[in-house]
Chains A and B, each alone.
Chain A
């Protein structure tokens, strides 16, 4: 894991001192609220429905046990004893008080964490595959490159006042778990003729205009990365629209100007910038890579795992859903669900955070990850330790066996916390999870991604949910639109709307009708929902959702 050097430490201390002064100047009014706004946003501080909200970056989703403990301490000391893990590998605290925020930032700095550029019109926290460094299917660990990008984008003088926010995601695996096609820039690590490089995708995004990103460079040599990124963002800074914030993202810039015109400008700018990078960045990258060396995996007897798997059905069910293939023999990647049925997706209490930190230390080389699906991951656990780990997780309600299943729902904060919301999303997620838990159908249904947003900004990624739910406001009443067939992986697809929306007290029934239709029509239990939908099309699901309309059509 990356450990700050003297430069990083000094930078962050200085930056925190600057923000402390800015808070003071806001309090004494030498800064107007208008002027303070972008400065607090650059430091992760939002003004929310009830209070300020502080968004802390978990760079590329990687945390150490000590960092997790510090997040728990902050939750206790400055908040109400919990934090909320988001889809962009951040943790949000919903109740900090403005004068205390500088102290929180200092507490974060003690463990090499910060809230820099987690909001505002700047390059945001870089996200990466949450299985990075552990997955069996990985070409290379993307985290050293992500750390290099973090350093390059942090405080970049040219890019603090872009037309709009700018998000970069990176994956080192052909199976894209980082949703690279829904980011302003997506990077996929690839190899060509034995040379390492990147496929560069530009102009993806969700929000009110969902767009699947397009390939701007199919092979970029590794050492060209920073000048190429700088060229893209620099061209966007001048070309992006500033007259309408809904048309300001690079996805619109690319659509309005055309990919080829944007590419030409980027390549021209790249040629100017390339000579400025003389290789020091690559030396730095090599140093960073040393920080991410894999732990010393050991060979051990897997018998305790086999025994528990054979004899304990609860353990078996958890192992079947919550484990993923590890690159080292005998090891597993463990996903800890923050989606206990009926809980707020992504919330963790300070006690839960401390337990996860302790378990990471005892069984997982002190490493944790946060996924964009709002779960916590222990990337390196030997199978022999899984029964003990599972037992310990049960104590804190952290052993829910639902990863990738219907109740593993992504939901944005919605009306419960968010000033922009047009509908509730958390209670909808809770109701759906409880319904299918009561029906005992969850494991029978198999892999299914439901994603819920409380307004068209789409923070809950509903466009790429196999089932997406979008909460709107129709004349003062909550109304939920359903989309089907979305997919956030390497074959990214935007889901299609089924038709008119449903009221708050109808939406769970509507989801159940979709699921019952799927269970009836699937070829066998090996055909997952998304595959069945692709084979069947939307019609049978629409017929189930709108029986009246179907009757009329038939008549």
Chain B
């Protein structure tokens, strides 16, 4: 099982569709998972029909997913964007600032890094140099 983290803390997964790997996703799929090395351009044209995209993080040290998230937002994706896998609480602000709505972590990780550690960064939209440089 897994835990979904948002600004409000831990919650169970309330998305009730199937999230399928992009390669196996049929025409009308509403939720897909992107592998760490997937090019977001592969989803060009399909974004309006997608409700959720999950981007896989194989290791917390692999930061490709942050760029993938930004790309998807730049391409106009407005649905639910989820970081899934080995993301640690210290990366929560980075994930939110890059365009993710939520993070999905394993129960193990949730036990080791409890909710308070994640909520410590729920103020991710404050003290942000990037927002300052782009505002207006």
A-side residues, CB < 8 A to B, are 7, 10-11, 14-15, 18, 21-22, 25, 30-31, 35, 38-39, 121, 151-152, 154-162, 226, 234, 237-238, 242, 272-273, 276-281, 284
A276 and B93 contacting across the interface, CB-CB below 8 Å: no
* Extra contacts besides A157-B97, A161-B61, A280-B134 (6): CB < 8 Å: A7-B132, A30-B114, A39-B90, A151-B129, A152-B130, A158-B66
Q: Which A residues lie within 8 Å of B136 (CB)?
A: 278-280
B134 and A161 contacting across the interface, CB-CB below 8 Å: no
A226 and B133 contacting across the interface, CB-CB below 8 Å: yes
**Partner pick for A237 among B60, B64, B88, B121, CB 8 A cutoff:** B64
CB distance from A294 to the nearest CB of B (A): 26
Are A280 and B113 CB-contacts (below 8 A) given A158-B70, A237-B63, A242-B62? Answer: no
B61 and A281 contacting across the interface, CB-CB below 8 Å: no
A156 to B90, CA, bound (A): 13
A41 to B88, CA, bound (A): 16
Question: How many pairs, one residue from A and one from B, have CB atoms within 8 Å of each other in the complex?
Answer: 97
A10 and B127 contacting across the interface, CB-CB below 8 Å: yes
| B122 contacts chain A at the CB level, 8 A cutoff | no
Nearest neighbor of B111 in chain A, beta-carbon distance? A30
Q: Which B residues lie within 8 Å of A121 (CB)?
A: 61, 63
**Partner pick for B93 among A35, A157, A161, A234, CB 8 A cutoff:** A157
| B42 contacts chain A at the CB level, 8 A cutoff | no
Nearest neighbor of B109 in chain A, beta-carbon distance? A35
CB distance from B39 to the nearest CB of A (A): 8
Q: Is the interface of A mostly helix, strand, loop or mixed?
A: helix
| B12 contacts chain A at the CB level, 8 A cutoff | no
A242 to B58, CA, bound (A): 12
CB distance from B135 to the nearest CB of A (A): 5
B133 and A22 contacting across the interface, CB-CB below 8 Å: no
Nearest neighbor of A35 in chain B, beta-carbon distance? B88
B62 and A161 contacting across the interface, CB-CB below 8 Å: yes
B127 and A281 contacting across the interface, CB-CB below 8 Å: no
A158 and B98 contacting across the interface, CB-CB below 8 Å: yes
CB distance from B64 to the nearest CB of A (A): 6
B133 and A280 contacting across the interface, CB-CB below 8 Å: yes
Nearest neighbor of A32 in chain B, beta-carbon distance? B112
Q: Which A residues lie within 8 Å of B95 (CB)?
A: 157
**Residue in B63, B66, B68, B98 whose Cβ sees the most chain A Cβ within 10 Å:** B63
A158 to B130, CA, bound (A): 10
B62 and A238 contacting across the interface, CB-CB below 8 Å: no
**Partner pick for A30 among B63, B70, B113, B121, CB 8 A cutoff:** B113
A226 to B37, CA, bound (A): 25
A237 and B127 contacting across the interface, CB-CB below 8 Å: no
A332 to B90, CA, bound (A): 47
Q: Chain B 96-118 against A: per-residue CB contact (8 Å), 1 yes, 0 no? A: 11100000000000001110010
A278 to B126, CA, bound (A): 20
| B78 contacts chain A at the CB level, 8 A cutoff | no
| B11 contacts chain A at the CB level, 8 A cutoff | no
| B94 contacts chain A at the CB level, 8 A cutoff | yes
Q: Which B residues lie within 8 Å of A159 (CB)?
A: 63, 66
Are A272 and B74 CB-contacts (below 8 A) given A30-B117, A278-B134, A284-B133? Answer: yes
A280 and B135 contacting across the interface, CB-CB below 8 Å: yes
Are A30 and B134 CB-contacts (below 8 A) given A11-B129, A157-B98, A158-B63? Answer: no
B63 and A162 contacting across the interface, CB-CB below 8 Å: yes
Q: Which A residues lie within 8 Å of B61 (CB)?
A: 38, 121, 161
Q: Which chain B residues numbered 39 to 89 have a C-beta less than 8 Å away from chain A?
A: 39, 60-64, 66-68, 70, 74, 88
Nearest neighbor of B68 in chain A, beta-carbon distance? A238
Q: Which A residues lie within 8 Å of B39 (CB)?
A: 238
A224 to B97, CA, bound (A): 22
A234 and B70 contacting across the interface, CB-CB below 8 Å: yes
Q: Which B residues lie within 8 Å of A160 (CB)?
A: 63, 66, 91, 94
